[in-house]
Each structure stands twice: as C-alpha cells, then as structure tokens.
C-alpha cells in the first residue's frame, strides 16, 4: 500500500505515468467513469479549503466513487480531543482512501503510519502540498510541453507557502531548472531549501523587485501571503500587498511566460490580468482535478 506525503514519493518516471493517465482521463472520461464504483474517498480537512477538497471530491465522483468526510474539524470528534491516529483507524473501517489537510506539519504522516488505507497529504501546515505540486507540474507539462530547461520565478510568501516548498522540491529533479525567488526579506525561502539547491548545484537568485526579473522568466508562480501562519497581524498587514501583478508588469514579461497561482488569490494578481492568455491559474484548477483522478486510481491500484 502506498501513501502520498511528498511529491518525491513518486519517481520522475512514475510521475510521467501519472500525468499520461491524467491526460487520458481528460480525453476519454467515459472510459474511467466506473473505475471507482463502490469505492469511497474520505476527505479529512482540519483546515479551511475550497479548491483542494472539492477537487478531490469531484475527482472521486468522476470515477464513479463516493465521498465521506468533514470540512471542519470542529464538527468532528476532533473537537472532543480525538487523536489523528485514532481518527484514521476509524476512517480506515469506512473508506478505501483518505485525503487529509492539517494545520500541523507532519499530521498526515502520523495518519499514514496508523492507516490501513492509502493516505494523501492534502497540505500540512507550512510544509508540503504534494497534490498542488502534481497540479502545477501537469499544468506546466501540458502548456509548455516539457518540465525542464526553464527559468522559474516564484513570487510572494516563499517562507510559509507550502505549495512553493513542494514545487521547488519536485522541479529540481528535471534538467536545466533555474530559480528566481522574488520576495520581501521577511518572506524569503527557508534555508533548508537554499541549502538543498546549493548542494545540488541548482542556480537560484533572490531578488525583491518583480519588475527587475519578470522579463527573464519562462514561468511566474505567484502566491498569497499566508495570513494564517503569521504570528502578528501588523506584519501581515505590512506585507500583504507587497506584490501586485498587473497589466503594466505583464507588459514587461516575455510573450510565452505562464502565470500560475495555486489560488485562492487575494490582491497579488489584479483581475485585469485574468484575460491575458499567459494567465493560466484557472486552467490549473482543471488540471488539478484530472491529476487527482489519476492519483486516486493509482493509489487504489485500479490502473
Ligand atoms: C494553497 C494551500 O492551501 O496551500 N491552496 C490550495 O490548496 N490551492 C495555497 C494557499 O492557500 O495560498
């Protein structure tokens, strides 16, 4: 039995297989419409989510399966003090596969260690968000045609943004990746990530102004300042609108640069960018659903 805790749990070859399956599912949904008949997915969300939870649930429904779970820990036995280990033991009796989001780093790993069904990490604190990374990689692969040889700009909250940490971890396995980290001093990418890049000899730069480097990017990954992970509101208020990608900045960007964002967006991308063909964050949501379909089918060993 396999779980998905980090994007590195799959080899590059296994990821390629997963992406091919996701593309096939998009092309021929009828072929997969009953793959998960009588199977159940449990979504255990201890932290707010719209897209990720509904994406998982829609993915399972598209495969003919059904869904149980909670979207708010206060409405479950967690509010009575139940541990993650006990919750997953119980859920293992009801469902065939589970997706868990938790504010504490490592909670899905505790669940996996106590589970008799596959567990998917749907985001743990500021740590990892592997299915968002699968979404991001599938989007890049589909719209750029390849995953290596590009300059990737990541902009915004690089300190607390778990999607950023997972994506960097995953991209370093492809040839010819260069990173430009664009953030205020307070929200720089953690040292454990830059140490890993140094060790692997992967080129990266850290800059503050988006305008200075937007012209060199093949891909710009915008992120929201992660309000819920700040220790004081003053800092959040000071930093929240540090970057706003607007039409004027897009004029400085290459014609083929893609703009991705895991969503939800707050102010960091002005709505007048949405019509720009380079803005692909809503397409990204669609790819997310297909890649989760492929992931569920793979972890349930139905393909
Ligand atoms: C992201 C997350 O939860 O980390 N959202 C998502 O799952 N698409 C990004 C965010 O909340 O900023």
| Distance of alpha carbon 109 from alpha carbon 115, whole angstroms | 10
List residues bridging with 207 in a β-sheet.
182
pLDDT of residue 72: 86
Q: What is the pLDDT of residue 172?
A: 98
- 177-182 sheet: strands from edge to edge: 204-207, 177-182, 150-155, 219-222, 258-260
Q: Is the CB of 135 under 6 A from ligand 1?
A: no
* 7-128+288-299 topology per CATH: Rossmann fold (3.40.50)
Distance CA 279, CA 290 (A): 19
> Looking at the chain, how many residues does it have?
303
Cβ of 245 closer than 6 Å to ligand 1, yes or no, is: no
- Calculate how far, in angstroms, residue 21's C-alpha sits from the geometric centre of ligand 1: 24
Residue 108 to residue 106: CA distance in whole angstroms = 6
The predicted pLDDT at position 36 comes to 98
Class of domain 131-284: alpha beta
Opening angle at CA 133, ends 68 and 97, nearest 5: 25
Residue 123 near ligand 1, beta carbon < 6 Å: yes
In the chain, residues under CATH classification 3.40.50.1370 are 7-128+288-299, 131-284
Our mutation pick for probing the ligand 1 site, out of 7, 59, 123, 158, counting the most ligand atoms within 8 A of Cβ, is: 123
Q: Could you tell me the end-to-end alpha-carbon distance of the chain, in angstroms, rounded to an integer?
A: 14
Q: Is the CB of 52 under 6 A from ligand 1?
A: yes
In sequence order, what are the residues at sequence separation of 6 or more whose Cβ sits closer than 8 angstroms to the Cβ of residue 129? 52, 121, 122, 123, 162, 163, 166, 262
Task: Note down pLDDT in tens along the chain; length 303 residues.
Answer: 999 999 999 999 999 999 999 999 999 999 999 999 999 999 999 998 888 999 999 999 999 999 999 998 887 777 788 899 999 999 999 999 999 999 999 999 999 999 999 999 999 998 999 999 999 999 999 999 999 999 999 999 999 999 999 999 999 999 999 999 999 999 999 999 999 999 999 999 999 999 999 999 999 999 999 998 888 899 999 999 999 999 999 999 999 999 999 999 999 999 999 999 999 999 999 999 999 999 999 999 999
Q: pTM for this one?
A: 0.96
State if residue 165 touches ligand 1 by the CB under 6 angstroms criterion: no
CA-nearest of 236, 296, 290 to 266 is: 236
Which of 143, 129, 131, 155 lies closest to 280, judged by CA?
143
pLDDT in the model for residue 275: 97
Ligand 1 geometric centre to CA of 191 (Å): 21
């Amino acid at each position: 039995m396999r779980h998905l805790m980090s994007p590195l749990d799959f080899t590059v070859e296994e990821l390629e297989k997963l992406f091919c399956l996701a593309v096939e599912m998009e092309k021929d949904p009828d072929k997969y419409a009953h793959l998960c008949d009588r199977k159940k997915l449990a979504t255990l969300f201890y932290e707010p989510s719209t897209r990720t939870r509904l994406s998982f649930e829609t993915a399972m429904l598209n495969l003919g399966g059904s869904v149980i779970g909670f979207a708010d820990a206060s409405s479950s036995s967690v509010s009575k003090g139940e541990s993650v280990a006990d919750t997953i033991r119980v859920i293992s009796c009801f469902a065939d596969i589970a997706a868990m989001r938790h504010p504490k780093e490592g909670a899905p790993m505790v669940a996996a260690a106590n589970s008799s069904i596959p567990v998917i990490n749907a985001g743990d604190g500021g740590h990892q968000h592997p299915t968002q990374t699968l979404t991001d990689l599938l989007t890049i692969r589909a719209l750029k045609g390849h995953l290596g040889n590009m300059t990737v700009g990541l902009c915004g909250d690089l300190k607390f943004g778990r999607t950023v940490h997972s994506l960097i971890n995953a991209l370093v396995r492809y040839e010819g990746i260069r990173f430009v980290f664009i953030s205020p001093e307070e929200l720089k990418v953690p040292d454990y990530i830059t140490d890993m890049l140094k060790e692997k000899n992967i080129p990266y730069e850290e800059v503050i102004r988006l305008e200075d480097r937007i012209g060199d990017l093949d891909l710009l990954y915008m992120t929201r300042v992660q309000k819920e992970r700040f220790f004081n509101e003053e800092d959040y208020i000071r930093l929240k609108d540090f970057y706003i990608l607007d039409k004027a900045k897009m004029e400085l960007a290459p014609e083929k640069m893609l703009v991705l964002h895991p969503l939800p967006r707050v102010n960091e991308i002005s709505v007048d960018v949405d019509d720009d063909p380079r803005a692909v964050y809503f397409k990204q949501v669609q790819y997310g659903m297909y890649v989760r379909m492929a992931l569920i089918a793979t972890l349930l060993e139905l393909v």
